[in-house]
Every structure is written in C-alpha cells, then in structure tokens.
Structure 1
Amino acid sequence: MASKKSSKTAAAMKEDANSSDSVSQGNVNAILAAIGSQGDELKKLIEDKMTALSGRLDVLDATLVNLQSEQTGVKQKIVEIEGALNGTDSRLGEVGKVCDDLRAENKSLWAKLNDLEGRSRRLNLKFVGIMEGEERERRSVFISDLITELFGRDNFPKPVKIDRAHWALLPKPPEGQRPRTIIARIHNDRDKDLILRLSREKFPLEYKGKRIYIFPDYTPEVAALRRAFSSVMKVLRVAGLK
C-alpha cells in the first residue's frame, strides 16, 4: 500500500515538473517574441535616426564647403588689402617728405615775408591817443604840425616831411571810446630816429590836455620778441647800458 502511494506521488511530481517546464518555456518564448518585436522597432528607429543624421551631415558638409569658399575669398581680400596698405604706406612716406620740404620752404618764405614787412614799416611811427577828428582832412599835414608843436622848432626848424598817414585799419570807435592809432610814414629816417629819441626824453607827451604816445611800427612777430626781451632791456637800462 505504501509502495503504491509513493509511486503515485512520484508520478504527480514528475507531471508537475513537466507542467512547470512547459510554462517556463512558454514564458521564455513570449519574452523572446517581445524582444524580437522591440528589436525590430529599435532597428527601425535606429535606421530612421541614421537617415536623419546622414541628411544633417550632408547639410553640414555643404555648409563647410561654403565656409571654406568664403574663407578663401576673405583671405584673397586680406591679401589685396595688405597690398593696398603697403602702397598707401609708401605714398604716405612720400607725402610726409613733401610736407617736410613744404614746411621748411614755408618757414623760409615766412622769414622773408616778415623781413620784407619789417622793412616796409621801418620808417613808420605810431601816434597813440590822438582823438578822432583832430586831424581834420590832411593827416600828413596834421602829423607834421604836431611834431613841430611837441618838440619845438629848435629841433625841427623845417616841417617834417610825411609821405603818408592813415588811421589803423579798424572800425571807427563810438564817441568817447579809445581812439584808433594813426600810422605815419616819415620821409627821412634821421627825422624818425630824432622823433623817437625826443619822445623818450620829453616823456610824457601831451596834446590838448590828452596824453599821447609815439612808438615804432613793428610787425606782430617783432613786437612779440621785444616783449619777451623787455625784462632784460629793463635790467640793461638800470645798468646804464644801451
């Protein structure tokens, strides 16, 4: 009896094992089928991505080709610009040399012009402080008479010859304002030198109660140089040196 029961139990266990193996094999087959299905989908997805990536790479290749072409054009333009700059530098050097030559020539011409202007003013005297209208019509006659009145006939027994006289080239000032300067050209340089010496010796000079001054007619450049030298001239005068 016990032997029969044991045999039955062993047979049942074998059947259960066979049934379990059958279920496990079914699960494995299902899993493999699912994996195969997912693999196909994954393969299709990879193929689609590769196709898209290939298209993008083609576009990138075309872009790179265009960039290389543009870079070649830029390099060519840079070469052309460098050549133009080298030519410009050369021309600028030539222009600089011409400017240096012109500057030296201008300096020489300016010195000559200043010398000529100074010589043209050499016999001029400036009369400062004479009221507008005092000269009436003939300024040259007025200046000649004024010199005789200021310094006396002992120094000028004959009227001083005045080549010409005119007001400074400025607008006529309003009444009561500082009058313009009269510039007179003395015919004889000895008379001019004597007038300047006497104006220093008889300083201050007055005409109709008004203080007047007589100065040489220097060019602006010479006047600036004299102003720069004025402190030295003061020391020399104090020392009694000429």
Structure 2
Amino acid sequence: MDGAKSRKTAGRHKDHDERRETGMSGVGSEASGDASGGELKLHITETIQSLTRDLQNEMKSLKADLKRELADFKDEFGNDFKKEFNNFRSEVNQKLQTVAEDVRDHGARMIEVEKRIEEVESANTELKNALLHTLKHQKLLRAQLTDLEGRSRHNNVRIYGIKEGAEGTSMIHFIDSFLKKELGLENNTDLQIQRAHRSLGPKPQNEEVSRSILVNFQRYDVKDRILKTAWSKKITFEGRAVTVAHDLPTEVNNKLREYKDIKKVLKEKQIRFQTPYPAKMRIHWESGPRTYNNAAEVREDMNKRGFQVEPRQTPEISWEQRLARSVHWNRVDGGCSTRAREKLEAFRRQPD
C-alpha cells in the first residue's frame, strides 16, 4: 500500500515538474516566436516592395514596348495607307481619264446623232407635208375621176332579175321588146339603145343567180322616162321580180350601201327620203328637208331625233388620220440640237 502511495506521490511530483518545465519552455518559445514574427513581417514587406518594384519596372517596360510598337504600327500603317492611297489615286485618275475620253467621244457622237436626227426630222416633215399634199391631190383627182365615170354612165341603166340566157342571140332586141312590153310602150317607140350586155364577170354556176344587164341609151331623156316608168310599175320576168336602176360608179355604190339600215328605219317610219347624186341623202322631216353628205351625219342626226340607228362596226379611217396617228410629234423651229442645249442650260453649274 505504501508502495502504491509512494508511486502515486512520485507520479504527481513528476507531473508537476513536467508542467513547470513545460511552462518554462513555453515562455522561451513565446519569446523566440515574437522574434521570428518580426523577421517574417520584415521579409514579407521586403518581398512585396521587391515585387512592386519589379512590377513597376515591368509595367514601365511594357509601356515602353507598347509605345514603341504603336509608333512602329503607326509608321507602318501610314506608309501602307499612303502607298495604297497613291495607288488608288493613280487608278482613279487613270479611270477618270478614260471616262473623260469616253465622254468626249460620246459628246462628238451625240453631236453627230443630233445632226442626223435634225436632218431626219427635216426630211420627215417635208415628206409628211408632201404626202399630205399628195393625198389631198389624190383625193381630189379621185373625186374628179368618179365624177367623170358617173357622167360617162349618165345614160346607162342596170336591169336586175333576168335569168342568164333569156336574151337569146341579141341582147339589144331582147331588151327593146322587153321594155316596150313591160312598160306599156308603143311598138314604134324608138328607145335608141346603143349597147346592151351582161355585167362583166364569169357566168354564175347557180341558175338562180344572174348577172345584171347594162343598157346604154343614146339620149338621157329616154333613159329618164324608162326609169320613172319602171319605178311606177311592178315588173316581172318568168315570175321573178325585175328591178331597173341607175348605173353608178363602184365608189358611189359602196357609199350608197352605207344607207341600207338607215333606209330601212325611214321606210318603217314612213319618212320620205331621196339619195341625190353622187351619194348624199335628203330626208324630208316635218320641220323641212335636210341634206346629208354621208351616212355618218345621218346616223348622228337620227340618234339625236330619237331613232335607233346602230353605228358602223368598223368606221373607215382616212389615210390622213392614219398618218397623223403614226407620227405623234411635230417639229418645231430650232432643231433637235438647239432644243437639247436649251434644256441642258438649266443644269449648268453657276460659278462661285
């Protein structure tokens, strides 16, 4: 027991001594630790200062390098830009010189074109005036020719409705006896027929169709008496109606055909009308007679009066109207080049 106590006592003394030694060593460690911390802070401060100086030196070096590189880039870029600009200016000058030459060439060609256009305009105007004069003169000659043709047919009549071959061997004897019989003339009446024949053209294959018979009288009064008598009677031949009419020029007949629908309306309304030579129409209205020069005038007036007359589907266009439609401009004094210069004067740049 005593031994155990003595061992415990000895252990406590040992622990106390260890703690005291430990405390003594701790005090020494703290003193040495304070000395080491100061050195560390000083070392860190020196290291930071060194790094700062190195960084500042590197920044200065980098700044100097950047300035040097920027200066080199500036010089290089300036040289390259000047070189490219000089090349570009040379190309532009060369192209401008080419364009200027083209403009001068085009200007010379335009002057030549203007001159030729002016000549064409002058020639076209002269040709147009000459053509209009020729058409006017041709129209006058045609009217005179139609008048002469109508006068040459003044003593003629045309007979429609007598079948082919009925005249036998002598057309004059057949017509003489036919007119005397159908018109109730005396046998000893001298009709003074100069010529009688079928209208020119091939004989029709259809027997129901026959060519008209042209009869020429020596005297106009005999022809006029035959017409008036024939118009006052109903003439037939072998059961077919026969018509006696004036022998008119083709142009006059074409104009008279334009009155066909007009005549139909006037007959339905029982309005008296006449067709004086060459191709006019005289209508006896309640207000008095009125003469029209062509079918267009009649249609226009009848439509105004309330009569329904349809216009022609394809109205005839004169050559004068066609010529006017084909040329949409008229030449004025001064010529093409003069007018062009006058218009370009408005765009001339005024000096500063």
TM-score bracket relative to the smaller structure: 0.7 to 0.9
- DSSP 3-state at the match of 2:273: helix
Q: Distance in 2 between the 1:188 and 1:11 partners?
A: 160
Equivalent pair of 1:129/1:179 in contact (CA under 8 Å) = yes
Equivalent pair of 1:128/1:181 in contact (CA under 8 Å) = yes
Residue 232 (structure 1) aligned with residue 273 (structure 2) = yes
Of 69, 82, 85 in structure 2, the residue corresponding to residue 50 of structure 1 is 82
Query: 2:249 matched to which residue of 1?
Result: 219
Deviation at 1:212, TM superposition (A): 0.5
- Are residues 225 and 177 of structure 1, via their aligned partners in 2, closer, same or farther at CA, if it must alter by over 3 Å? closer
After superposition, where does 1:99-118 map in structure 2 within 5 Å?
Answer: 99-118=131-150
What amino acid is the match of 2:208?
Q
- Structure number with greater Rg is 2
Query: 1:139 matched to which residue of 2?
Result: 171
- DSSP 3-state at the match of 1:212: strand
Equivalent pair of 1:129/1:212 in contact (CA under 8 Å) = yes
Query: 2:237 matched to which residue of 1?
Result: 207
- Are residues 11 and 148 of structure 1, via their aligned partners in 2, closer, same or farther at CA, if it must alter by over 3 Å? closer
Q: Distance in 2 between the 1:40 and 1:103 partners?
A: 89
Q: Distance in 1 between the 2:51 and 2:175 partners?
A: 153
RMSD: 3.4
Cα deviation per residue 1:192-235 (whole Å; 9 max; x = unaligned)?
Answer: 1221121122x210122221111111224444369759653386
Query: 2:126 matched to which residue of 1?
Result: 94
Q: Distance in 2 between the 1:87 and 1:50 partners?
A: 54
Segments of 5+ residues of structure 1 without an aligned counterpart are 1-5
Deviation at 1:56, TM superposition (A): 2.8
Structure 1, 98-107 or 211-220: larger mean CA deviation: 98-107
Query: 1:183 matched to which residue of 2?
Result: 214
Deviation at 1:136, TM superposition (A): 2.3
Residue 79 (structure 1) aligned with residue 111 (structure 2) = yes
Deviation at 1:159, TM superposition (A): 5.1
Greater relative contact order (CA < 8 Å, ≥ 6 in sequence): 1
Deviation at 1:49, TM superposition (A): 4.2
What amino acid is the match of 1:205?
I
Query: 1:59 matched to which residue of 2?
Result: 91
Residue 174 (structure 1) aligned with residue 215 (structure 2) = no
Segments of 5+ residues of structure 2 without an aligned counterpart are 1-37, 264-271, 275-281, 290-352
Equivalent pair of 1:144/1:161 in contact (CA under 8 Å) = no
Q: Distance in 1 between the 2:44 and 2:220 partners?
A: 161
- Are residues 196 and 40 of structure 1, via their aligned partners in 2, closer, same or farther at CA, if it must alter by over 3 Å? same
Using structure 2 for the length normalisation, give the TM-score.
0.55
Equivalent pair of 1:147/1:160 in contact (CA under 8 Å) = no
State the aligned residue count.
Answer: 229
* Structure 1 outlier segments of 4+, above 6 Å: 9-16
Residue 162 (structure 1) aligned with residue 193 (structure 2) = yes
Deviation at 1:38, TM superposition (A): 5.2
Using structure 1 for the length normalisation, give the TM-score.
0.77
- Are residues 152 and 11 of structure 1, via their aligned partners in 2, closer, same or farther at CA, if it must alter by over 3 Å? closer
Residue 125 (structure 1) aligned with residue 157 (structure 2) = yes
What amino acid is the match of 1:162?
I
Q: Distance in 1 between the 2:215 and 2:135 partners?
A: 35
What amino acid is the match of 1:197?
K
Equivalent pair of 2:235/2:242 in contact (CA under 8 Å) = yes
- Are residues 19 and 137 of structure 1, via their aligned partners in 2, closer, same or farther at CA, if it must alter by over 3 Å? same
Deviation at 1:54, TM superposition (A): 2.6
Q: Distance in 2 between the 1:63 and 1:226 partners?
A: 73
